[in-house]
């Protein structure tokens, strides 16, 4: 029986995921089993031969998902465990060529492990990314505190104002979250509605801020996904700090913002 060897590039992805999980944990954005991460690894496995003993679990996927390879975190798994024992709290799956089953090729070593119940919604986003040729391979969902607080404020119902308010807090936010935040209305977690609204969000925005819940981002790499969430949250945090100190921040002027947009071709 031949041994299944992970490509070196996949090992790099796993290392980066552990590193980012550490940041997420330090920020208190992945309490308990909060958050989930997936990476479309299909390109990394091009030409790879599967071991002969692979056992497929029955599950229906959209036909376009046939032969995809996906890294995904586990149901009820704690993302903080990705730092030290990533092989227990997450796995790499292969979806068979009839898209009606998946096999765990690597990881999932925790007892009774199954991929997160968000597998379908993550896959929906990956298939959307594929159809758009966006180059986005990572989907990251977490609970960034200040963004969540902002989604409880009435400003959440005025998307343009919310974006202007965080962009004006500091030039970095305008430059590194260039398409801004989508205010995604509250919907029950794992629902098709929420997955669809999130896809719609990514058509125009960098961050989907799920009302009273958390944020979801998609990007080419896990580090770029983290950066969107981190910088967007920085804008929210600065705004809330000004409000908590009892003043409305002056903000970078519209003219100064325009100059930034010109400089960085935004």
CB-CB neighbours of 253 under 10 Å: 10
Q: What is the CA radius of gyration of the chain?
A: 19
Question: Nearer Cβ to Zn ion, position 214 or 235?
Answer: 214
Q: Which of residues 104-123 bind Zn ion (CB under 5 A)?
A: none
Site string for Zn ion, 160-199 (x = CB under 5 A): ----------------------------------------
Task: Give the residue at shortest CB distance from Zn ion.
Answer: 214
Out of 107, 214, 235, 251, the only residue in the binding site for Zn ion (CB under 5 A) is: 214
Nearest to Zn ion of 108, 214 (CB atom): 214
The stretch among 100-108, 114-122, 162-170, 209-217 that binds Zn ion (CB under 5 A) is 209-217
Tokens of 151: 């989604």
* Rounded (10°) angle between helices 119-132 and 192-204: 30
Compute the least distance from the CB of residue 189 to Zn ion, in Å: 6
Shortest Cβ distance from residue 225 to Zn ion (Å)?
15
**Residue 215 CB, nearest distance to Zn ion (Å)?**
9
| Of 37 and 169, CB closest to Zn ion | 37
Which range in 18-26, 54-62, 72-80, 210-218 contacts Zn ion by CB under 5 A?
Answer: 210-218
Q: Which is nearer to Zn ion, 99 or 187 (CB)?
A: 187
Q: Among the residues of 105-250, which ranges form H helices?
A: 119-132, 145-150, 159-167, 171-176, 192-204, 222-244
Sheet holding 181-184, edge to edge: 57-58, 101-107, 90-95, 69-73, 36-40, 138-142, 214-219, 207-210, 181-184
User: Of 148 and 177, which has the nearer Cβ to Zn ion?
Assistant: 148
CB 87 within 8 A of CB 74: no
Give dist(CA 210, CA 214) in Å, integer: 5
- The torsion angles phi and psi of 239, rounded to 5 degrees, stand at -65, -45
Residues at the contact surface with Zn ion, assessed by CB under 5 A:
214
């Amino acid at each position: 029986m031949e041994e299944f060897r992970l490509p070196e590039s996949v090992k790099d992805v796993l290392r980066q995921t552990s590193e980012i999980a550490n940041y997420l944990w330090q920020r208190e954005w992945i309490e308990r089993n909060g958050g989930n991460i997936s990476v479309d690894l299909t390109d990394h496995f091009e030409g790879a031969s599967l071991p002969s003993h692979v056992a497929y679990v029955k599950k229906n996927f959209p036909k376009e998902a046939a032969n995809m390879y996906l890294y995904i975190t586990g149901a009820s798994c704690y993302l903080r465990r990705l730092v030290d024992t990533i092989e227990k709290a997450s796995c790499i799956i292969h979806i068979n060529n009839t898209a009606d089953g998946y096999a765990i090729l690597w990881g999932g070593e925790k007892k009774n492990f199954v991929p997160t119940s968000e597998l379908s919604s993550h896959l929906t986003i990956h298939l959307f990314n594929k159809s758009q040729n966006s180059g986005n391979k990572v989907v990251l969902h977490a609970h960034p505190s200040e963004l969540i607080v902002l989604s409880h404020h009435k400003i959440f119902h005025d998307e343009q104002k919310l974006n202007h308010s965080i962009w004006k807090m500091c030039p970095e936010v305008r430059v590194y979250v260039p398409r801004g935040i989508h205010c995604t209305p509250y919907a029950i977690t794992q629902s098709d509605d929420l997955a669809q609204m999130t896809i719609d969000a990514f058509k125009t925005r960098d961050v989907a801020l799920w009302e009273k819940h958390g944020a979801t981002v998609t990007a080419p790499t896990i580090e770029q996904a983290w950066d969107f969430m981190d910088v967007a949250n920085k804008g929210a945090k600065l705004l809330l700090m000004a409000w908590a100190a009892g003043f409305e921040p002056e903000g970078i002027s519209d003219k100064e913002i325009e100059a930034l947009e010109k400089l960085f071709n935004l």
